[in-house]
């Protein structure tokens, strides 16, 4: 049991980060406002979690302009996808092991 718990990734312990990664696994690219609507969190809260995931190189950003408004889009990196996949498998293994 202990070894499976070790496989859980600390980076995904937070619900907001878990939500961000889930949305980026199911879609190629998601922008900041879509994530905000989806997760129902404040700008600042979302931004800090995005930053943390970006620092771990689990997600990457692409900034562009739509008209005159800046628009930041996010996508999961290969590392991020693999890390999230192992986290998911560990979660499922833990629940099966009960």
In whole angstroms, how close is the CB of 68 to other proteins at the nearest point? 20
Segment contacting other proteins (CB under 8 A): 46-54, 55-63, 64-72, 90-98?
A: 90-98
Query: 19-23 long-range contacts, Cβ below 8 Å, gap at least 24?
Result: 20/46, 20/49, 20/50, 20/53, 20/59, 20/74, 21/53, 21/58, 21/59, 21/76, 21/80, 21/84
22 binds other proteins (CB under 8 A): yes
Binder to other proteins among 32, 34, 47, 60 (CB under 8 A)? 34
Binder to other proteins among 11, 19, 58, 76 (CB under 8 A)? 19
98 binds other proteins (CB under 8 A): yes
In angstroms, rounded to a whole number, what is the distance separating the alpha carbons of residues 86 and 69? 37
Read off φ and ψ for residue 27, nearest 5 degrees.
Answer: -130, 150
Binding residues vs other proteins (CB under 8 A)? 15, 18-19, 22-23, 25-27, 30-31, 34, 37-39, 88, 91-92, 94-95, 98
């Amino acid at each position: 049991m202990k070894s499976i718990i070790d496989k859980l990734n600390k980076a995904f312990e937070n619900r907001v980060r878990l939500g961000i990664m889930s949305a980026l696994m199911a879609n190629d690219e998601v922008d900041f406002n879509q994530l905000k609507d989806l997760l129902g969190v404040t700008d600042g809260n979302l931004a800090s979690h995005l930053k943390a995931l970006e620092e771990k190189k689990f997600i990457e950003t692409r900034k562009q302009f739509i008209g005159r408004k800046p628009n930041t889009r996010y996508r999961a990196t290969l590392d991020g996808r693999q890390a999230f996949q192992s986290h998911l498998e560990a979660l499922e293994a833990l629940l099966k092991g009960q």
